[in-house]
Chain A
Amino acid sequence: MTSRVGRLSGPAVKRRALTRRAVLIGVSSTLAAPSVLRAQQPFRFGLTPVFLTSDLELLEALQRYLSTAMNMEVQLVLKRTYQEITSQLISGLLDAAWICGFPFVAYRRELELVAVPVWRGKPTYQSYLLVGADRDASSIADLRGDIHAFSDPDSNSGYLVTRALLAERRAKPQDFFRRTFFTYGHRNVVRAVAAGLAQSGSVDGYVWEVMTETEPELTRQTRPAWRSAWMGFPPIATSTPNVRSDGIARLRRALIEMPADQTGRDVLALLRLDGFTPGEPALFDSIAARVDLVRALG
């Protein structure tokens, strides 16, 4: 699965990908060693394309911080899709994972909230409908007949929001758009729209905003045509049976206390986040409403 790591690493450049893989394999092997000895099972933490850049710097800092703060071995598990990470989380292959609000709502009974990131002072974010910078569009109605890029079928901002918008209009993506495709990464949606591969895309507003700082030459070629209402930020979740475990308690404390630690602050700075809050499942009610709408209207 190491080949999928490249997917997470946003601005992946061929020659860098190799070293990155090598290092990640190194990271996992050192983390896996204690499990072979059965001295202590490492804490397995799943990550998805929610990450912006998934630089080695970020992954290493996060792994180092969590290991230190939780005082135990932490293994970062990188998956391409939300579906993979969600199913592994539910089946107990992962102790915790940073997932999207959509799978959290969809598997509400199987999953429990660990923490919610705080961005610009609030645990919320938006979904954007992205178009080319020179295109005149302000609502989804202007995007009819487009080649449209989604990020992930289990992504709230990168799929569900647009799907629900169309459902309100009694339409389905495959009918409304000329063609749709999934990029399995919010950054990839920005790239697809910027390159002209897609004429429009559904993207995580938080990712796009952060990219305006880190990769302005890419975002400059795109423009948000429409912004959704504020919704619960993609949370860190665990499986329901696991919620009372010592590991989860350590993880929650480590996340909440992140701003107090220098390594933690470095991680937050790389993620452009303020910190983490315990959060309330009610944060994701608007997402749940969209899921219901889509289910109801097929």
Chain B
Amino acid sequence: MRRASLDPRRWPLAFKAPVLVAVFMVVVSIVLTNVVLTRLRETQERQLAAMSTIYLNGLASAVIPHVLREDIWEIFDIIERGATLEGGFGRASIVVVDSKGETLAASDPRQAPVLSRQSERDRAFDGDALLFVDTGKGRAFARRPLLYQDRRIGEIYVDYDISHLLRERGEVLRTLVATNAAIALLLAALGYWIIRRMLGPLGTLSRHLDLSVSGPVQPIPKDEIVASTREFRRLFIRFNAMARAVNEREAIAKELANEERLASLGRLASGMAHEINNPLGGLFNAIDTLKRHGDKPKVRSISLDLIERGLKGIRDVVRSTLAAYRADRDPRHLAANDLDDLRLLVRPEIARRTLTLDWQNTIQGELPIEATAFRQIALNLLLNAIGVSPPGGQLSVICAIEGDHLLLEVHDQGPGFSPDAYAVLAGETSSPVPFGEGAGLGLWVTRRLLEEMGGQVVIARSPLGGALIRMTIPLRAKEELRDVA
């Protein structure tokens, strides 16, 4: 599991796109809500102003004659009846003052007694404004001068409940926020779904690539290709073409590795023929001697002894050859004599080139390492070392347990590794392109086998003067051994 990154650039697309949609919607809805609420407020205030004007004009025309006569009762009677408003505005509070600013009558006389001054009300108005809205109190305040023959004879003040208008604003705001939030969520969810659907084929591709790490590349099934979009269909077809190519190459590589092993065995064959041929001459001589002088007990005994030693030599050679070939069909654990067999196998080569082999094998019992693969590696390295050693040179093979690893060292006095050979063995190139004369494929096979066993290789300079190849192979994971065999 990857940890969630805080860097938005690294968020998955399936998350980023819906979040972007949601953020976009939030921005749009904030702008929209502002516009709508501003328009609503303007409309409401325009309507309030119009309503106030009409209302106050009506009241004014009714009270003006009585204001002229300062008829307190008539003014009260008119404004008290006129105070009840329709349409949720509740009961208005109306105050009529004379030209001196003294109250003539109020719809609620206890709030504004007769003769009281209303300068507080006047001060609340901004300049010559005729209307202002106090959202805190939820009331609108309006005023209108009472004019008679162009002379100001008084003023009429009215304030009324507009909390239902403010409530309406609140409701509009809530509705807008809820609707926009719902739309944003819906679009985000839709975006998530769409992106997930669009990126689905990438998941398929990724899954198939993941599978190819641990085994052959699996081609994408036909029905999945048919179900995908045109772009992905092309990608899938290409991927399948690639998968086929890779799998074919893998098969060829396997075949090559197999052939290489047979080839190395073939190269040994001539040596083995010598190994068998040498005692054969002696054996035939011994048989001749027996034919002719078989009646002499001493001669018979010596001849039989000679035959036995010769046959034993042949048996050893045959046995180790069988061991080298039998392996793939019977994966088993490595034992000390598996390695010692190799010494026997390469002995003719060593002898032919007049080399000296220092053989130090200290492993005991069975080790949880696949015998065939390890023998192949050791044989390849050994043959390689023999091949590069000058006549009369010295070789050294050390095999030992080091902690939970098996250690294999091969020293020689050769000229050291060429860069190409080095790259192949160190795994720095994946190309199995053969270089030089045959040796390249051997190194490449060694590298593959080593990787399968999870081993590592270090190439250094040997104290003998040539190259040192030092391999360590872990001793655990017995199960894997069988799988990779």
CB-nearest residue of chain B relative to A181?
B72
**A147/B115 contact (C-beta < 8 A), A181-B72, A197-B105, A197-B109 known:** yes
Complex Cα spacing A149 to B81, Å: 19
Chain B residues, CB < 8 A from A14: 81
Contact of B113 among A147, A183, A184, A192 (CB under 8 A): A147
B81/A181 in contact, CB under 8 A: no
Chain A residues, CB < 8 A from B308: none
B115/A149 in contact, CB under 8 A: no
Closest Cβ of chain B to A180, distance in Å, is 9
Contact of A188 among B70, B73, B106, B113 (CB under 8 A): B73
**Complex interface bits, A169-198 against B, C-beta within 8 A gives 1, otherwise 0:** 000000000110111100010001001111
B73/A192 in contact, CB under 8 A: yes
Chain A residues, CB < 8 A from B110: 195-196
CB-nearest residue of chain A relative to B77?
A188
A197/B81 in contact, CB under 8 A: no
A195/B77 in contact, CB under 8 A: no
**A149/B73 contact (C-beta < 8 A), A14-B81, A195-B80, A197-B105 known:** yes
Chain A residues, CB < 8 A from B81: 14
Closest Cβ of chain B to A174, distance in Å, is 13
Chain B residues, CB < 8 A from A181: 70-73
Complex Cα spacing A66 to B364, Å: 147
Interface size class of A (residues with CB under 8 A): 10 to 19
CB-nearest residue of chain B relative to A132?
B110
Closest Cβ of chain A to B236, distance in Å, is 82
**Complex interface bits, B83-119 against A, C-beta within 8 A gives 1, otherwise 0:** 0000000000000000000000110111001110000
Chain A residues, CB < 8 A from B80: 195
**A192/B115 contact (C-beta < 8 A), A14-B81, A181-B71, A197-B109 known:** no
**Complex interface bits, B460-485 against A, C-beta within 8 A gives 1, otherwise 0:** 00000000000000000000000000
Q: Which of A182-233 contact B (CB under 8 A)?
A: 182-184, 188, 192, 195-198
B115/A196 in contact, CB under 8 A: no
**Complex interface bits, B52-92 against A, C-beta within 8 A gives 1, otherwise 0:** 00000000000000000011110011001100000000000
Complex Cα spacing A183 to B81, Å: 15
B109/A196 in contact, CB under 8 A: yes
Complex Cα spacing A183 to B76, Å: 10
Chain A residues, CB < 8 A from B115: 147, 178-179
Chain B residues, CB < 8 A from A183: 73
Closest Cβ of chain A to B380, distance in Å, is 117
Chain B residues, CB < 8 A from A178: 115
CB-nearest residue of chain B relative to A17?
B81
Complex Cα spacing A143 to B108, Å: 21
Closest Cβ of chain A to B216, distance in Å, is 95
Closest Cβ of chain B to A50, distance in Å, is 17
Chain A residues, CB < 8 A from B105: 197
Closest Cβ of chain A to B66, distance in Å, is 10
A182/B113 in contact, CB under 8 A: no
Complex Cα spacing A85 to B326, Å: 146
Closest Cβ of chain B to A234, distance in Å, is 21
Q: Which of B408-429 contact A (CB under 8 A)?
A: none
Closest Cβ of chain B to A184, distance in Å, is 7
Chain A residues, CB < 8 A from B73: 149, 181-184, 188, 192, 197
Q: Which of B307-330 contact A (CB under 8 A)?
A: none
Complex Cα spacing A51 to B109, Å: 26
Complex Cα spacing A192 to B73, Å: 8
Complex Cα spacing A132 to B453, Å: 111
CB-nearest residue of chain B relative to A182?
B73
Closest Cβ of chain A to B370, distance in Å, is 109
Chain B residues, CB < 8 A from A149: 73
B114/A147 in contact, CB under 8 A: yes
Complex Cα spacing A183 to B105, Å: 13
Chain A residues, CB < 8 A from B70: 181
Instruction: Identify the interface centre among A147, A178, A196: most chain B CB within 10 Å of its CB.
Output: A196
CB-nearest residue of chain A relative to B106?
A197
Closest Cβ of chain B to A172, distance in Å, is 18
Chain B residues, CB < 8 A from A179: 72, 114-115
Closest Cβ of chain B to A38, distance in Å, is 38
Chain A residues, CB < 8 A from B113: 147, 196
Chain A residues, CB < 8 A from B109: 195-197
Complex Cα spacing A287 to B374, Å: 145
Closest Cβ of chain B to A134, distance in Å, is 11
CB-nearest residue of chain B relative to A7?
B77
Closest Cβ of chain B to A199, distance in Å, is 8
Closest Cβ of chain A to B129, distance in Å, is 29
Closest Cβ of chain B to A100, distance in Å, is 18
CB-nearest residue of chain A relative to B70?
A181
**Complex interface bits, A142-161 against B, C-beta within 8 A gives 1, otherwise 0:** 00000101000000000000
Complex Cα spacing A266 to B37, Å: 62
Closest Cβ of chain A to B58, distance in Å, is 12
Chain B residues, CB < 8 A from A188: 73, 77
CB-nearest residue of chain A relative to B111?
A196
Complex Cα spacing A196 to B70, Å: 18
Complex Cα spacing A198 to B73, Å: 9
CB-nearest residue of chain B relative to A6?
B77
The 3 A-B pairs at the shortest CB distance, nearest first, are namely A181-B72, A183-B73, A197-B109
Chain A interface (Cβ < 8 Å from any Cβ of B) = 14, 147, 149, 178-179, 181-184, 188, 192, 195-198
- Between A and B, 28 residue pairs with Cβ closer than 8 Å are A14-B81, A147-B113, A147-B114, A147-B115, A149-B73, A178-B115, A179-B72, A179-B114, A179-B115, A181-B70, A181-B71, A181-B73, A182-B71, A182-B73, A183-B73, A188-B73, A188-B77, A195-B76, A195-B80, A195-B109, A196-B108, A196-B109, A196-B110, A197-B73, A197-B76, A197-B109, A197-B114, A198-B114
Additional pairs, 17, CB under 8 Å, beyond known A147-B113, A147-B115, A197-B106 = A14-B81, A147-B114, A149-B73, A178-B115, A179-B72, A181-B70, A181-B72, A188-B73, A188-B77, A195-B76, A195-B80, A195-B108, A195-B110, A196-B108, A196-B109, A197-B73, A197-B76
